[in-house]
Amino acid sequence: MQTLTPHVYWAQRHGDVYLRNLDISLQENTLQFKAQGHGAKGNNHYEFCLEFLEPVQPKVSHKSTQRQVNIKLLKQTEDWWPRLTLQEKKPLFLAPDFDRWQDESDAEKELQAKEEQRINKISVESRIRKDPYLGLKKGYLFMYNLVQFLGFSWIFVNMTVRLFILGQDSFSDTFHTTADMMYFCQMMAVIEIINPLLGLVRTGFFPAMLQVTGRNVILFVIFGSLEEMQNKSVVFFVFYLWSTIEIFRYPFYMLACIDTEWKLLTWLRYTIWIPLYPMGVIAEAVAVIQSMPVFDETRLYSLPLPKALGQSLSFSYILHLYLVIMFLGLFVNFRHLYKQRKRRFRSRKRKAN
């Protein structure tokens, strides 16, 4: 019997080395292969040895098939070897295993993809493990957003249809036709202050509080308690601006609850506030200014003063202060929404890369 050297095919990843066609012992980083087999040249001894360029772990795993022996060794440290063997000159029997071959950058990409998969799996698993009520929370948020979407859509459609039919004449009737629904939606919106406190959404408590309180002051104090304000055109502009953003914002949240995203809707949710928010604050400021003489006249909510200082302090003085707070609130929430927009589009760009 002759002693022959079999063909050995090799490939690597950052953590592993693959060899094909062998039988095996590993000593001092040198793989010894000796075997008897029946090949093209009849029954023969086959043997070779390979001293690896870098240390490998002592454990060798191998699997024999009728045609070959597959060997897998684990590298001691995860890195890329410029060649397989310590000796610089490639042994004649050694050739790249093109079935498995990858260059360093391809292997790196494969490694990264595996790592990302692993992280995603861990984060999904830990979310499920950490929060057994996740489904319930999402269900509750979905329903809340659906109700708000239906409410604001009703207001928006009602106002739009009336605007088309009656033109400017519809302005004066806005409050009487839509206020009940607006009361309902804005009272419900208090939930948006509670949600971040309960950790149900990643909204800041402060921006949500400014948003909901700001609107409710206008709705309940300025429009709700002064009949003189209720047929003014400004009601139309305030309600129309509020409902325009909400018919995009709530469906966006609904989709987020079912882990879905429509790009156009996301873009609209994070873009149309740019003109709408300042316009909304200006409309609200006009309403506050228009209400001041009415509060002066009716003395509604005026604060009683000690006799020496006069009879009472008109609520309109408080509204002067409120106007300042409103523009500060605009600044705070505009900045918040700008940051949210940047964060949202930055993370989408990163995902696209």
Near ligand L7CU2Q4V by CB under 6 A: residue from 201, 282, 285, 294: 201
Our CB check for ligand L7CU2Q4V shows the closer of 237 and 295 to be: 237
Tell which positions 229-258 bind ligand L7CU2Q4V, by CB under 6 A: 241-242, 245, 249, 253, 256-257
Q: What is the dihedral of CA 333, 336, 340, 342, to 10 degrees?
A: 110
* Dist. CA 347–CA 253, nearest whole Å: 17
Q: Determine if 271 is a binding residue for ligand L7CU2Q4V (CB under 6 A).
A: no
Q: Determine if 267 is a binding residue for ligand L7CU2Q4V (CB under 6 A).
A: no
Q: How far is the CB of 97 from ligand L7CU2Q4V (least distance, A)?
A: 45
Q: What share of the chain is helix, strand, coil (3-state, %, to 5)?
A: 60, 15, 25
Token digits of residue 166: 């009656």
Active-site residue identified among 284, 297, 317, 338? 284
List the beta bridge partners of residue 71: 19, 62
* Long-range CB contacts (within 8 A, 24+) of 144-151: 144/188, 144/191, 145/250, 145/251, 145/253, 145/254, 145/257, 146/250, 146/254, 147/188, 148/185, 148/188, 148/189, 148/246, 148/250, 149/246, 149/247, 149/250, 149/251, 149/254, 151/181, 151/184, 151/185, 151/188
Letters for 119-158 (x = contact with ligand L7CU2Q4V by CB under 6 A, - = none) are: ----------------------x---x-------------
Q: How many residues at the interface with ligand L7CU2Q4V, by CB under 6 A?
A: 33
* Dist. CA 65–CA 46, nearest whole Å: 16
User: Is residue 270 annotated as part of the catalytic site, yes or no?
Assistant: no
User: Is residue 284 annotated as part of the catalytic site, yes or no?
Assistant: yes
Q: How far is the CB of 238 from ligand L7CU2Q4V (least distance, A)?
A: 8
Q: How far is the CB of 349 from ligand L7CU2Q4V (least distance, A)?
A: 15
Whose CA is closest to 222, among 144, 131, 298?
298
Q: How far is the CB of 312 from ligand L7CU2Q4V (least distance, A)?
A: 22
Residues that bind ligand L7CU2Q4V (CB under 6 A): 141, 145, 201-204, 207-208, 210-211, 213-215, 241-242, 245, 249, 253, 256-257, 273, 276-277, 280-281, 284, 325-326, 329-330, 333, 337, 340
Cite the active site residues: 277, 284
